[in-house]
A and B are shown apart, each in its own frame.
Chain A
Amino acid sequence: MNYTADEMMAVEAARRIGDGTVCFVGIGLPSLAANLARRTHAPRSVLVYESGTIGSKPHELPLSIGDGELAETADAVVTVPEMFAYWLQGGRIDVGFLGAAQIDRHGNLNSTVIGDYDRPSVRLPGGGGAPEIALGVRDVFVMLRQSRRAFVEQLDFTTSLGDHVRVVVTDLGVLEPRDGELALTQVHPGVDPDDARAATEWDLLVARDVHETDPPTEDELGALRALRTKGQA
């Protein structure tokens, strides 16, 4: 079956969510991955959206983290101060998904600015929940398309720390921490480790046991494609 790079990313991230995992989910690919996991091998996983919905079971993928369906299908809806204080800071979240504009070899992320902070060439949306999610959850999963612009030697700004980053799923493969820095541990079907190295500004280490990602199964792709973003045909 044919599939896109985004679909491979979502499927590979979903596979890493164990059943019963409590996931702090952002919008876009992380939401797709977490919902896919819930609809396939991890039906008891708990999706938490930072707008305050706990245990959301959306039928369609939301466009924003606060769509009404997330509240309607939730086990509980809490306020934002409660979400960050009792639930995230309270240590009740297993996995947190983060994206960014830039990542370095230690999994530190930049979602704040490109260029100088006071005179940025691109003002990005900012950290949002990321600084506390990055250190407040047990495992951080990063989903980010791989390029030399994004996988950089030196971040323009450090928005969040990489201490809890366990895996980085890209459109080319998977990076995981080995001996204190991120190393390439998987390549997706048809990708050569040198492709991933060429799309990384720092000298990306390739793990000795690097292996090819299993392609998406028909079941995985079927479940994935049944999830549509609200408002899209």
Chain B
Amino acid sequence: MLSWSSTESGLTADLSAVVSGGSDGGLPFGREIIGFVDAIGGKDDQQLSEARQRLVEAAGEAFMVDTAAVVANFEMMTRVADGTGARFPAARAAQRAQLDAQLGIGGFTSAR
């Protein structure tokens, strides 16, 4: 979805930002978005507060709120997928092999 939408937007997204963070992914405010998401995924509320503030200062409160909503959506969808054993059809799984390797996700327990 990131590759598709960035290509359609005339951008070149760097998928390595999804894997390891630490960059802007080739997108405006990408570094602040990654920092915010990483802090949400962590347990340190002070770090989260600081990352939230950096995103607000860079992109505004409404942008931060909508980023939080997107993250909340995928806190939901990952639980639905993992809780119901969602998997790709065999043909689609074969097509994804290269992407899975690029993202380093083939070894996840949830890889079915």
The yes or no verdict on A and B being binding partners is no
A interface residues (Cβ-Cβ under 8 A, vs B): none
